[in-house]
Structure 1
């Protein structure tokens, strides 16, 4: 009996150590994405392996929203101001039963030197057209382009994400629609 218990514990430990870090979710969750624009009209972009995108975080800590977004920008070594919500999007998946909400914020770069957060390969400023083109995830590219082209509108929309090999193609299933117009300060 004791040997069986020890073997079971060893097997469970072995399984726990070999699990992929990108496990499927076990619940719905929210992602906050931050488009930081500097005075040279460049966007802060980061690369994880071969995927380029704007900074983001899974909102799962006990933080206020602005506190979480400030923590995200600080992880990149930059201070931000003029934070504005620019989009709220929903994602469903054809390979698991959970959904995500994705909030997009735009902020102005104030100061700081870029540093590369742990787990990322690179972070740098890119001119807006290059940043949009270089964006590796179709939905993030489409959303970023929409937000940049129409900066006075807070956008909504929905995507379906598939799983094909190592790729996760997305399809826009509810085309972009205005949630409301932002109030610009003159």
Structure 2
């Protein structure tokens, strides 16, 4: 009796195994959109002196506000303090002035630009110090608002900077789409007009 029961148990197991082998495979998991890596954040420092002039830096990309690429193990405050120190400046506490996003439209597509890139602008006033002397790679200049509008060649950055300078009491948001053909910039579009975040 026990032998017969054992045999039926074995047969039942074989049937179950065969059913499992011939059963339809389980459905694939639902498709999940590939998550792109964060395309980094640029922290820009808008330092003004007691005459209201803005500090600009000239590098291989042209005239712009000094900046640091936030892709290190640093907090925002640490990165900005390091930038100010490297500039030889003592400044007031940093105030967030704007948060903009960049979307890239490239031909051919650049896989490193799959994600939105962010630009944070911080204001500070000069307390003491002088920017570094001119070198072969960099030059610094204190400029008026109108001079900044003339010197900053990158359209998106010029618009962002002037928005902060013209309306310093407001924290601004906005979004741009930058288009490229190969390495050549072909267009800049403000896809979300500037709006107050507070």
TM over 0.5: yes
CA apart distance, 1:29: 1.1
Give the one of 143, 147, 157 matched to 1:126: 143
**Structure 2 gaps, min length 5:** 1-35
1:30 aligned residue: 41
User: 1:81 and 1:169 mapped to 2: Cα distance?
Assistant: 36
CA apart distance, 1:120: 3.6
1:88-142 deviation per Cα after TM superposition (whole angstroms, max 9, x unaligned): 0110101232320111111001111211598842112112220122111111110
**Structure 1 residues 177 and 48: alpha-carbon distance in aligned structure 2, compared to 1, 3 A threshold:** same
Q: Are the aligned partners of 1:48 and 1:119 in contact in 2 as well (CA < 8 Å)?
A: no
Give aligned pairs, total: 156
After the TM superposition, list the runs of 4 or more consecutive aligned residues in structure 1 that deviate by more than 4 angstroms: 116-119
1:87 aligned residue: 98
User: 2:86 and 2:147 mapped to 1: Cα distance?
Assistant: 23
User: 1:169 and 1:41 mapped to 2: Cα distance?
Assistant: 31
1:109 aligned residue: 126
Task: Map 1:26-175 onto structure 2 (within 5 A).
Answer: 27-49=38-60, 51-95=62-106, 96=110, 97-115=114-132, 120-164=137-181, 166-167=184-185, 169-175=187-193
User: 1:117 and 1:58 mapped to 2: Cα distance?
Assistant: 22
**Structure 1 residues 153 and 126: alpha-carbon distance in aligned structure 2, compared to 1, 3 A threshold:** same
Q: Under a length normalisation based on structure 2, what TM-score does the superposition of the two structures give? A: 0.72
User: 1:168 and 1:53 mapped to 2: Cα distance?
Assistant: 19
Q: Are the aligned partners of 1:46 and 1:120 in contact in 2 as well (CA < 8 Å)?
A: no
Q: Under a length normalisation based on structure 1, what TM-score does the superposition of the two structures give? A: 0.77
Q: Are the aligned partners of 1:94 and 1:161 in contact in 2 as well (CA < 8 Å)?
A: yes
Structure number with greater Rg is: 2
